[in-house]
Amino acid sequence: MTRSARNPPHPYDIWGVAHPPDDTLPFFAYGALKPGEIGHSNIKDFVRPGQSQTASAKGTLFSRDGMALFTSAGPHPQPIRGVLIYFSDPNGYRAVGDYEPGTHYQWADPPVQLLEPHATANVLEAIDPTHGGVELDAAEWRSRDDPAFSSALDVVERIRRREGPRPRHLMQPGDWRSFFRTEAGYLLLWSVVERYTSLAFSPRLKPEAKVRELSREAEFVEDLRHRLRRAGAVAPVYDARDPGEPFEIDDPVGYLRATRLNLTHKGKAAWRDDAILRTALAVLLPAFRDLIRRRLPS
């Protein structure tokens, strides 16, 4: 049985947000679900065309694991900018609940009176935003401001350029230092990829479900496949946790993630694995940066 033929498990790790008490009210979006933002595609089909408008509500923004958190009871309230969204039917709120984790959010009760426009809206209030959250010194959350999508990728790029490719030979004692530096860069890169999948598809999804969603990004997958073939990547990769069936480059996301899992589960050794790791880093980084440029708002 190939890996793609295995029955996928239940996709969610945690429960979603419940339906709001009044689903006839518009939705004030201040995070990843805003139009043009990284997660808007999850609700886009239920949004009334041409009726969304810029809006603001009094509150404080926090961030936790990259997610925007709003509270009207924060220590430094100010007008928080977002978008007022009108849904074409109640399934829009079902889509919000499918995306947003109920461990982080609950519907404001009573609904919030916006500062602009003068309207009442359903708003997701953060649950315990100070528990692991950081107050943002900003009136608007934007995914492009997340340092994971800029500074972290710059760090990975510097590691890639410094370590570079290595000739195929038996590894010498000094080569291991370079190997571990490359390993650190690759793990950091995957932490950024995982943040992207949480915001783009849903923070509720299990890691395997996020990978399946990432594998549906057709342009990204074809870019990875092309880069792997051009780099001469032909050796299959076996998941160190379950080495039954190999990952081939025809499944580029699975192939590159298996390389990442082998790092954390100690399944790599010697020059062959060193070559796989360096190729994986050189392939995933530019392809992911291209994906970020396409998906994050400018």
pLDDT digit string (tens) for 60-75? Answer: 999 999 999 999 987 8
What is the CB neighbour count within 10 angstroms for residue 66?
Answer: 21
Domains in the chain (CATH in brackets) are 27-141 (3.10.490.10), 145-295 (no CATH)
* pLDDT attached to residue 9: 46
User: Would you place residue 30 in the very low, low, confident or very high pLDDT band (cuts 50, 70, 90)?
Assistant: very high
Residue 23 reports pLDDT greater than 50: yes
Residue 205 reports pLDDT greater than 60: yes
Model confidence over 263-285: pLDDT tens digits?
544 444 555 678 888 999 999 99
Q: Which amino acid is at 278?
A: R
Distance CA 18, CA 104 (A): 12
* pLDDT attached to residue 2: 26
Nearest CA among 127, 128, 124, 130 for reference residue 112: 124
Under DSSP, the state recorded for 111 is: P
Q: Which residue has the higher pLDDT, 80 or 169?
A: 80
Distance CA 252, CA 69 (A): 34
Distance CA 21, CA 199 (A): 25
What is the CB neighbour count within 10 angstroms for residue 208?
Answer: 12
User: Would you place residue 242 in the very low, low, confident or very high pLDDT band (cuts 50, 70, 90)?
Assistant: low
Percent residues over pLDDT 90 in the chain: 71
* pLDDT attached to residue 274: 81
pTM of the predicted protein model: 0.89
* pLDDT attached to residue 233: 65
Model confidence over 78-130: pLDDT tens digits?
999 999 999 999 899 999 999 999 999 999 999 999 999 999 999 999 999 99
